[in-house]
Structure 1
Amino acid sequence: MAILNSSGKSSSSKSDPWHDLESGRVAWADFSPKQQEAIVRHFAPKIRILALRLKAKLPQSVELSELMSAGSLGLLDALKKFDPTLGIKFDTYSENRIKGAMLDELRRMDWFSRGLRHKVKTIEEASRQIEHKTGRQATARQIEKHTGMSAKEVQQGMEALQNQLCISLDNFQENLVGGKNALGENEPYQSAAFQEMVDKVALLIEELTPREKLVISLYYGEELNMKETAEVMDITEGRVSQLHSQALLKLRAKYRDRFDAE
């Protein structure tokens, strides 16, 4: 979902440099330094908006400034590579590049500590075993009993797991929105591999319950927050969070069980 008029200001003059950029009348490299600075200032607020959205899904240890720094590089990359002949608005194109740069930075940061990563793996395995045995989603109390972890440890691990899953799904969405153009015309192998992943995840999403599918659609497709999703579905925020976590855990487990061994 593109963020229109990122600066929050109305731009009526067609002589503004960002209009020249988006229309293709002038390439980024042909603008003067002053014009380039004006274009960056115009689109820069988008970076903070996207960074705040992503930060809300991450641990406290991840700094907003780190996300914004990565997003700034994504914006500059978008400005240099934007091709108006593709028929894509710069707002849409730059949003994909900015989000992609932030997600790349998170992968480089390795923001899970070794101890937290171990907790996540233990909780994942316990959840699988409990669900297989009972036929139902594992509860926090059941995981505590199964692993011997404290309630606090299980809560930390489950929050970290949900954060990790959110980032994975955000990355999938970012690639899905960018589509084949984001991969480049000269990368047929990556394009084929990406399409295969899209088909697999789409198949798994169809296996979710109707309410789980709706939460995924509203939260990632329409980019509503938990409160807005709750209002649309006429349920509590707590229930939305539960359905959201439940859906992501199912997708992760189904993908691993069905495709990781291939």
Structure 2
Amino acid sequence: MLFARNAYHKTETRSEAQRAAVESQALQSHLALIHRALSRYRGVVDEATLEDLKQTALITFVTELRKFDHIVNDDFLRSATVRIRGAIIDELRQRDYLSRDKRTLSNQIKKAESILMGKLGRTPTISEVCRGLKISHQDYQDAMADMVLSDDVELFNIASSCDEDNEREALQLLVENELNKLPEEVRKVMYLMYVEGLSTQETALVLELNDIKVHRLKHKGIETLKTRLKDY
């Protein structure tokens, strides 16, 4: 399994001061891991919420480090990355991050994009979607930010639907394997957004696509994973 319990190591007993020093040094050395986990939510949530998510990530890092008896190795870093992402999503799920009005607008945008694509024979531009729905570009961008949270929660739900730790870890590995089976264009988007932690705009820039195309490919990837894993 990906993060089996036997990956944890036992070491000699350290004093409380020594453990605190190791934790502080490990945090300072791996702040990039924390920042990467948080980067996709910058501009999506307000600064106060972002700070709360940062504290959640830091606490999760230290908690996982203690499980590994303060040994920083590849097993720990892989496990900590997954645990931090999960803790952030749990924190977001506990907040009413997406109101009914915002959810309605997000669904309207998805429907409008689909209709316009059928009419135009291509992916519509943001301006075309906004004109069709009579909304501003800011309304559209706000809805896209909300979709980031919604999609992240949904993907996390797929990968953490089991109650037992060992089953959850096996399912996480299964999700990774299924990602590799996705069509190339979808896989690239999912990899950049959920492995590299890029934003929609950054992913669009890297792949030379527009934002709407990136969102559609991401939704396709999530829906495919849901279908393949529903009977697990």
Q: Distance in 1 between matches of 2:37 and 2:193?
A: 12
1:31 aligns with 2:30: no
Give the counterpart letter for 1:144 in structure 2.
C
**Root mean square deviation of aligned Cα:** 4.3
Q: 1:104 to 1:218 in 2, by over 3 A?
A: same
Q: Distance in 2 between matches of 1:152 and 1:224?
A: 21
1:248 aligns with 2:218: yes
Describe the superposition over 1:25-64 as per-residue Cα deviations: whole angstroms up to 9, x where unpaired.
23xxx43211221121022236743443343322141533
| Aligned positions, number | 217
Q: 1:223 to 1:121 in 2, by over 3 A?
A: closer
Q: Distance in 2 between matches of 1:157 and 1:115?
A: 10
Once the two structures are superposed, the pairs formed by residues 82-101 of structure 1 within 5 Å of their partners are: 82=68, 89-101=75-87
User: What is the aligned partner in structure 2 of residue 7 from structure 1?
Assistant: none
Describe the superposition over 1:121-166 as per-residue Cα deviations: whole angstroms up to 9, x where unpaired.
2212322333455553343233234433233322321232245435
TM-score relative to the length of structure 1: 0.60
Offset of residue 70 of structure 1: 0.9
Q: Distance in 2 between matches of 1:202 and 1:88?
A: 22
1:41 aligns with 2:24: yes
Relative contact order, higher structure (CA 8 A, sep 6+)? 2
Q: 1:60 to 1:102 in 2, by over 3 A?
A: closer
1:129 aligns with 2:115: yes
Q: Distance in 2 between matches of 1:146 and 1:228?
A: 25
2:191 to 217, 235, 239: 217
Give the counterpart letter for 1:61 in structure 2.
D
Q: 1:97 to 1:248 in 2, by over 3 A?
A: same
Give the counterpart letter for 2:165 in structure 1.
G
Q: Distance in 2 between matches of 1:261 and 1:130?
A: 30
1:74 aligns with 2:88: no
TM-score relative to the length of structure 2: 0.66
Greater shift, 103-112 or 214-223, is seen at 214-223
Unaligned runs of 5+ in 2: 1-7
Describe the superposition over 1:59-107 as per-residue Cα deviations: whole angstroms up to 9, x where unpaired.
14153321122113312331343389xx953233323322322222122
Structure whose alpha-carbon radius of gyration is higher: 1
User: What is the aligned partner in structure 1 of residue 90 from structure 2?
Assistant: 104
Offset of residue 197 of structure 1: 5.3
Q: Distance in 1 between matches of 2:203 and 2:126?
A: 26
Cα pair 1:47 1:72 within 8 Å, conserved: no
Q: 1:60 to 1:44 in 2, by over 3 A?
A: same
User: What is the aligned partner in structure 2 of residue 113 from structure 1?
Assistant: 99
Offset of residue 109 of structure 1: 2.1
Offset of residue 172 of structure 1: 8.0
Greater shift, 73-82 or 217-226, is seen at 217-226
User: What is the aligned partner in structure 1 of residue 35 from structure 2?
Assistant: 52
Q: 1:142 to 1:253 in 2, by over 3 A?
A: farther
Greater shift, 62-71 or 243-252, is seen at 243-252
User: What is the aligned partner in structure 1 of residue 140 from structure 2?
Assistant: 154
2:46 to 50, 61, 69: 61
Unaligned runs of 5+ in 1: 1-21
Which runs of 4 or more aligned residues in structure 1 lie more than 6 Å from their structure 2 counterparts after TM superposition?
224-229, 259-262
Greater shift, 35-44 or 193-202, is seen at 193-202
